[in-house]
A and B are shown apart, each in its own frame.
Chain A
Amino acid sequence: MISFDRFKLNNGLQVLVHHDKTTPMVAVNVLYQVGSRDEDPDKTGFAHLFEHLMFGGSVNIPKFDEPLQKAGGQNNAFTNSDFTNYYITLPKTSLETAFWLESDRMLSLAFSPKSLEVQRQVVIEEFKQNYLNQPYGDVYLLLKPLVYKKHPYRWNTIGKDISHIEKATMQDVKAFYKRYYNPNNAILCVAGNVETENIKQLAEKWFGEIPAGEEISHHYPAEPEQTEACSLTVERDVPQDAFYMAWRMPKRTDKNYYACDLLSDILSNGNSSRLFQQLVKEKQLLSEVNAYITGELDGGMFLVTGKLYPQVTFAEAEEAVMQELRKMTTKKVSEEELQKVKNKVEAVLVFSEISVLGRAMALSYYEMLGDAEKFNAEVENYLAVQAEDIRKAAAMLFQPNKKNVLYYKAKKKA
């Protein structure tokens, strides 16, 4: 159970406060409800580029990091398809510095041309480092447009094409900021040895004067029902053949989400899981296998991926995997196997709450889902799943005409 207080400023900024007297550190988390799904199809990678620009100086503070480091603090941020999250941890005695910094970059950025030029280069290097200069690095760049045809999830957070980042103008950047970086599109959470009254005063003092922006409706082109299986084969200079199967998932707030998540755990969470035992240990067809979900708000992906041993064919490997998946659609898992994955989820949730930063992030995320209180109901949501729910989820997901596969072939050495 995480307890918290909640209030809203007149400009629409939602504030959450969590009290923990055992730590000298405070976590300050700011979640902006803007991700790559909010991008124009011709200007992809913007939400993420923006995350970089948010450190390039704000209207009154030339450098974001310097004063924070002076205050003994650390920070970072991440961007995904649905939201952008900024976080700071610092000693409680420096708490007000975090309010000063976060409120100033919500008020206005400096928009220096130099910062745009440099961060553009940095993001291009990030693109190379993580997507191009790595074996299998471009998998998601290939897979997402295979799975999504209409919804903005069809491009990656880093961008569809690096040329979009190369061509970004200051005008684009300003427009993006004006639309999304507003108090009424943000959630602030403070966690640590703090009092709600004091946080109210600080929030009012630093964020209160920031004007609200236009209301944003989060509506996106709906993805049409998939009616035919899709596949793509590519050849790359990698040592092993690999496959990436993907099915579209229900929305994050759909009640079937929990059954799908547990289904992926049954298949591949831990060394006792079905795919690992069958394909890696028993049949020894694959050197690695994984089943996992991505939890995008409008419906993520259910993925099953594997790397093949040299003498194994794609057909053999795929048939062996599909055999396991078909079992899930016809036969209910035993109570013991179900209990196992539930115990695992419970442990993961408890461990995620250990640090104040973990709690601040979780509260902000669930507030975005509609209510921070939902975090406390999460264990119950998983515990309520029955064996039959998992079978039904498997039957719903693994339909032959809804399957997408990326075959990633190792180029044969001459």
Chain B
Amino acid sequence: MNKISHPDRTKMPQPAGFEKLNITNPEKVILGNGLPVYILREENQEVTRLDMVFNAGTSFQKTLLQASAVNDLLSEGTRKHTSAEIAGILDFHGAYTDYFLTKDTAGITLYSLTKYYDRLLPLMAELVTEAIFPEEELSIYTDRKWQEYQVNSQKVRYKASRAFNKLIFGEKSAYGQVAEADDFGKLTHKDLMDFYRHRYADFFVILSGKVNDALLRNLEQVMGTLPRKSQPEENTANIDFVLPEAQQTQFIEKKDALQSALRVGALSISRRHPDYPGLNLLNTVLGGYFGSRLMSSIREEKGYTYGIYSAIQNHRHAGLFGIATEVNAKYTAEALQEIKHQMQLLCEEKIRDSELSTVKNYVYGTYLNSFDGPLQLAERFKMSAELEIPFLFYKESLEQMMQYTPEDLLMLAGKYLAPDKMKTLVVGNISAFQVDKNLKD
């Protein structure tokens, strides 16, 4: 018989210290043509991830949808292969490709078993140098995207995030532009070719997971011989964002919506700003994790919503701080008031030590988790390259976060999270609930 033990269930077991966050710079290799390759190795699994990263985000486009269409249609035909043939090769090898696009960068991520790289690398090189964007494929693509847009436009969440992006950055700026229904039909083959020639001329590579000598030799043969053009020097992106004083609130009517989508936020500091680590902690306290103040109040106390979060979006030239939720339509005004109230509290009262220590530990744990394993490291490295920050910056920034006191954070909250500096957007059944009136109270 095992003896029955009675552990003390009233106290949390003490953690045995903290694991160290290990971040080391990737190994860098320069191919014969000068193409930089960053390598993050892990030999235990038989998989490899390849990222090809271009300065080809939406902020560089001259025509709406140009950047996304080029990115989405890279695999829809090259000088050597049709769209169907390319799909056949990728599918046959069980490979998965992800075409990624942000405001700053774009590219392709390939996930495949390492053993198939000899057959997949030539195709990857072909996509980024010999894509032809056939007219027929472009027309199928715009038809499908237009349909998808019609469906998405019925979602309050989708309408809110697009409108909020415009409200914060300004629709004329490179970061604030948003395509509308009639933009899909305007896109031409020439638009795609122009953007492709300009923005896909140069790139860098990240290899992660199993990276053996054979793969590197192959990479040299296939990608080390590609013609490379240096990128145009001038920065074509318009980064004059709207002033904080511009339009403060926006209400978009969506009749009969059962829930209202809410957005509260402002233009924010960039990832490299010295106050960023502190703001990141404040964001976590407010709405950055499940135990956050907003989640505790608006979901767990009041039950207005299934979820509410705040986040800082990082881009190369600016950040966006924003709170997002969908709430029971009849509590729209109450939820908005509570959001502002929680922000006001952060600006007026010091965070209790125990709450701050919880948040620091939580953030520490998420860093350990998100830097665990080569494929995740690749994702993080890609992000640091996009923001033009050194990779080890993440480690320093985590160490800085651990040093903040409640006094420091009170000061920063006043500087960055004052509710009267925030813009507000609601998509929902506005007329029925008179959000506007309640807000002014």
The contact of B84 among A272, A287, A336, by CB within 8 Å, is A272
Q: What residues of B have a CB within 8 angstroms of the CB of A71 in the complex?
A: 12, 15, 361, 365
B94–A93 CB distance below 8 A: no
Provide the A217-242 mask, 1 if CB < 8 A to any CB of B, else 0: 00000000000000000000111100
> For the complex, is B289 an interface residue (Cβ under 8 Å from A)?
yes
A307 to B19, CA, bound (A): 50
Given the contacts A347-B94, A347-B112, A25 and B369 also touching, CB distance less than 8 Å: yes
A24 to B370, CA, bound (A): 11
Stretch from A32-40, A116-124, A385-393 at the B interface: A116-124
B372–A100 CB distance below 8 A: no
Specify the chain A residue showing the minimal Cβ separation from B1: A10
The contact of B87 among A117, A204, A272, A307, by CB within 8 Å, is A272
Q: What residues of B have a CB within 8 angstroms of the CB of A273 in the complex?
A: 91
The contact of A340 among B92, B113, B304, by CB within 8 Å, is B92
B259–A128 CB distance below 8 A: yes
Q: What residues of A have a CB within 8 angstroms of the CB of B17 in the complex?
A: 93
Given the contacts A125-B259, A209-B6, A239-B154, A92 and B19 also touching, CB distance less than 8 Å: yes
The contact of B366 among A24, A74, A117, A121, by CB within 8 Å, is A74
CB distance from A200 to the nearest CB of B (A): 10
> For the complex, is A309 an interface residue (Cβ under 8 Å from B)?
yes
B46–A350 CB distance below 8 A: yes
> For the complex, is A90 an interface residue (Cβ under 8 Å from B)?
yes
CB distance from A243 to the nearest CB of B (A): 15
The contact of B328 among A128, A205, A351, A355, by CB within 8 Å, is A128
B87–A271 CB distance below 8 A: yes
CB distance from B7 to the nearest CB of A (A): 5
A340 to B94, CA, bound (A): 7
B47–A93 CB distance below 8 A: no
Specify the chain A residue showing the minimal Cβ separation from B6: A209
A69 to B143, CA, bound (A): 46
Specify the chain A residue showing the minimal Cβ separation from B256: A237
The contact of A239 among B84, B147, B302, by CB within 8 Å, is B147
> For the complex, is B4 an interface residue (Cβ under 8 Å from A)?
yes
B140–A281 CB distance below 8 A: yes
Q: What residues of B have a CB within 8 angstroms of the CB of A107 in the complex?
A: 9
A354–B373 CB distance below 8 A: yes
Name, among B15, B150, B153, B368, the residue most crowded by chain A CB atoms within 10 Å (CB to CB): B15
> For the complex, is A344 an interface residue (Cβ under 8 Å from B)?
yes
CB distance from B15 to the nearest CB of A (A): 4
Q: What residues of B have a CB within 8 angstroms of the CB of A309 in the complex?
A: 143, 147
> For the complex, is B24 an interface residue (Cβ under 8 Å from A)?
no
Specify the chain A residue showing the minimal Cβ separation from B44: A22
Q: What residues of A have a CB within 8 angstroms of the CB of B257 in the complex?
A: 133
Q: What residues of B have a CB within 8 angstroms of the CB of A125 in the complex?
A: 259, 303-306, 326-328
> For the complex, is B275 an interface residue (Cβ under 8 Å from A)?
no
Q: What residues of A have a CB within 8 angstroms of the CB of B143 in the complex?
A: 284, 287, 309
Provide the B26-42 mask, 1 if CB < 8 A to any CB of A, else 0: 00000000000000001
CB distance from B336 to the nearest CB of A (A): 16
Specify the chain B residue showing the minimal Cβ separation from A271: B87
Q: What residues of A have a CB within 8 angstroms of the CB of B372 in the complex?
A: 23-25, 355
> For the complex, is A295 an interface residue (Cβ under 8 Å from B)?
no
> For the complex, is A345 an interface residue (Cβ under 8 Å from B)?
yes
Given the contacts A125-B327, A205-B7, A238-B151, A72 and B362 also touching, CB distance less than 8 Å: yes
Specify the chain A residue showing the minimal Cβ separation from B259: A133
Q: What residues of A have a CB within 8 angstroms of the CB of B190 in the complex?
A: none
B91–A271 CB distance below 8 A: yes
A340 to B278, CA, bound (A): 50
A23 to B365, CA, bound (A): 13
B2–A117 CB distance below 8 A: no
CB distance from A166 to the nearest CB of B (A): 12
Specify the chain A residue showing the minimal Cβ separation from B20: A24
Provide the B217-259 mask, 1 if CB < 8 A to any CB of A, else 0: 0000000000000000000000000000000000000000111
Q: What residues of A have a CB within 8 angstroms of the CB of B375 in the complex?
A: 354
A322 to B6, CA, bound (A): 63
Total residues of chain B contacting the partner, CB 8 A? 77
Provide the A181-206 mask, 1 if CB < 8 A to any CB of B, else 0: 00000000000000000000000111
Specify the chain B residue showing the minimal Cβ separation from A410: B150
A269 to B369, CA, bound (A): 31
Q: What residues of B have a CB within 8 angstroms of the CB of A69 in the complex?
A: 289-291, 358-359, 361-362, 365
CB distance from A224 to the nearest CB of B (A): 36
B155–A100 CB distance below 8 A: no
> For the complex, is A171 an interface residue (Cβ under 8 Å from B)?
no
A100–B12 CB distance below 8 A: yes
> For the complex, is B111 an interface residue (Cβ under 8 Å from A)?
yes
The contact of A73 among B19, B46, B365, by CB within 8 Å, is B365
A346 to B17, CA, bound (A): 39
Q: What residues of B have a CB within 8 angstroms of the CB of A73 in the complex?
A: 362, 365
Specify the chain A residue showing the minimal Cβ separation from B156: A133
A208 to B291, CA, bound (A): 30
> For the complex, is B403 an interface residue (Cβ under 8 Å from A)?
no
The contact of A132 among B15, B18, B148, B258, by CB within 8 Å, is B258
CB distance from A63 to the nearest CB of B (A): 8
Name, among B9, B258, B301, B302, the residue most crowded by chain A CB atoms within 10 Å (CB to CB): B9
Q: What residues of A have a CB within 8 angstroms of the CB of B373 in the complex?
A: 22-23, 354-355
B83–A97 CB distance below 8 A: no
Q: What residues of B have a CB within 8 angstroms of the CB of A399 in the complex?
A: none
CB distance from A239 to the nearest CB of B (A): 4
> For the complex, is A104 an interface residue (Cβ under 8 Å from B)?
yes
Q: What residues of B have a CB within 8 angstroms of the CB of A104 in the complex?
A: 9
Name, among A99, A206, A351, the residue most crowded by chain B CB atoms within 10 Å (CB to CB): A351
Q: What residues of B have a CB within 8 angstroms of the CB of A351 in the complex?
A: 47, 96, 111
A343–B362 CB distance below 8 A: no
CB distance from B87 to the nearest CB of A (A): 4
CB distance from A300 to the nearest CB of B (A): 23
The contact of B154 among A89, A124, A238, A346, by CB within 8 Å, is A238
Specify the chain B residue showing the minimal Cβ separation from A118: B303
> For the complex, is A66 an interface residue (Cβ under 8 Å from B)?
yes
Given the contacts A125-B328, A270-B90, A272-B87, A74 and B365 also touching, CB distance less than 8 Å: yes
A66–B87 CB distance below 8 A: no
CB distance from B148 to the nearest CB of A (A): 7
Provide the A114-140 mask, 1 if CB < 8 A to any CB of B, else 0: 000111111011101110111110000
A280 to B140, CA, bound (A): 8
Q: What residues of B have a CB within 8 angstroms of the CB of A287 in the complex?
A: 143-144, 147-148
Provide the A49-80 mask, 1 if CB < 8 A to any CB of B, else 0: 00000000001110101110111111000000
Q: What residues of A have a CB within 8 angstroms of the CB of B91 in the complex?
A: 269-273, 340, 344
Pairs across A and B, CB under 8 Å, 28 listed: A22-B373, A24-B19, A60-B9, A69-B289, A69-B361, A70-B362, A71-B15, A91-B19, A91-B365, A91-B368, A118-B302, A124-B303, A126-B306, A128-B259, A128-B328, A135-B151, A135-B154, A271-B84, A271-B90, A272-B84, A277-B87, A281-B140, A339-B92, A340-B94, A346-B94, A347-B96, A354-B375, A355-B372
User: 5 tightest A-B contacts by CB?
Assistant: A72-B365, A121-B303, A347-B94, A271-B87, A239-B150
Report which B residues bind A (CB closer than 8 A).
2, 4-7, 9-10, 12-13, 15-20, 22, 42, 44-47, 75, 83-84, 87-88, 90-96, 111-113, 140, 143-144, 147-148, 150-151, 153-156, 257-259, 289-291, 299-306, 326-328, 357-359, 361-362, 364-366, 368-369, 372-373, 375
